[in-house]
Amino acid sequence: MIDLEPVAARPIDSVTAAALDRAAAAPMLAQTETWAAVNSGSGNLAGLERMAGLLADAFAALPGDIALREPTPGDAIAADGTRVPLAHGRNLHLVVRPQAPVQILLTGHMDTVFAADHPFQSVRRIDDATIGGPGVADMKSGLAIMLAALSAIEACPLGRRIGYEVVVNSDEEVGSPGSSALIAQAARGKAAALTYEPSALPDGTLAGARPGSGNLSIVVAGRSAHAGRNPEDGRNAIVAAADLAVRLAKHAGPRLSINPARIDGGGPNNVVPDHAILRVNLRPATPDDERRARALIDSAIAMVAAEHDVRIHLHGGFGRPPKPIDPAAERLFGLVRDCGTALGLDIGWRATGGVCDGNNIAACGVPVVDTMGARGGAIHSAQEYLIVDSLPERARLSALVLLRLAEGATA
């Protein structure tokens, strides 16, 4: 247990101040620029391997056991309806002081949304205050901030009071299918977790509650026939998939976003199509909404299969559980806010529509603040930018939060 009340408003003493200064002085901008220059799109296995090596070298400065873990095997549904293996990169895993009485989890990701052939590849200076580049905010800079904070507390006697695990995965931007099991394992027994996504807003506002997310590939098997001579003998998979998309979309609302995004399949105009794949993303606000979504999907599939005389197979699922803010999470957010106040920062939080590994950590029963990274914006676009001054600011904040957690461990 960590008792946060006695430490939340404690003045910053000289030893702590020196640790915060060390965190702020770390070479985070240079690291961010170097790491962002490496394309590590989620599907670029060579780039991810290079990035994993760079991170392993950098995080090896910390004590403990470091390793690159193989991803969990997975598969996907191709446009023709067949299953194809899905490859992901290796994941960085560091364990420090596993016998300490209080354990913390820190996570981040090395992948970006920019593929190896995407035109957005280079880092550039926008002005004195900002740089642009792929992953400079989301989240190569967050990894640099995490490393700076951990290095600083390792040089402080108080930091020895906590143990921690670090997971930097290679597939967060595609839902963490190859790393979610590692994250769940690392989350066991942790008193709190920090994840280094960029802030929800450029002013430093944190992401609070998040919805869940499910990605489905719904495979429809019909029957082909000549579109002119005997169409009645066919079972049109495209029509059935479209009917299913419309039925699902009618149930979208504030508590359940439903986005039928694509239908693959079909063929020549004179052939009744016998296969189709409907791709859908759903975002339930709460666990109850996720249960409602699952029931809705099952019901709609059964009705469409019966009415169109087709066979339907569901692939995929809800990889990101909803993340409500419970009392334990509120206390952790309060600690981050109070640490910000001690550093002259005004930190709040708000619900957001995005998802991340923080969803999965919270589902393990661990309170998590998942936007401890840099301030910036326009992520997932070629206009992505990083506010440079947020690097020392956020490194100080993380170091102070970790030291306060260490103090609470002895209260």
- What are the domain boundaries of the chain? 14-210+323-408, 213-320
Nearest to 332 by CA among 41, 8, 91, 15: 8
CA angle 113, 141, 405 (to 5 degrees): 120
pLDDT at 411: 44
pLDDT at 1: 55
Instruction: Count CB-CB contacts under 10 A for residue 12.
Output: 16
SS3 content of the chain, % helix, strand, coil (to 5): 35, 25, 40
What letter would DSSP give residue 369? Answer: E
d(CA 353, CA 282): 12
Enter the tokens of residue 134: 């792929």
Enter the tokens of residue 215: 């990605």
Walking along the chain (411 residues) 10 residues at a time, the average pLDDT comes out as 61 94 98 98 98 98 97 95 95 97 96 98 97 98 98 94 97 97 98 97 95 98 98 98 98 97 97 98 97 98 98 97 96 96 96 96 98 98 98 98 86 44
d(CA 103, CA 187): 9
pLDDT at 5: 59
pTM tops 0.85: yes
Class of domain 213-320: alpha beta
CATH fold label, 14-210+323-408: Aminopeptidase (3.40.630)
pLDDT at 4: 59
Q: Do residues 367 and 328 make contact, with C-beta atoms less than 8 angstroms apart?
A: yes
Enter the tokens of residue 239: 């029509």
d(CA 141, CA 202): 14
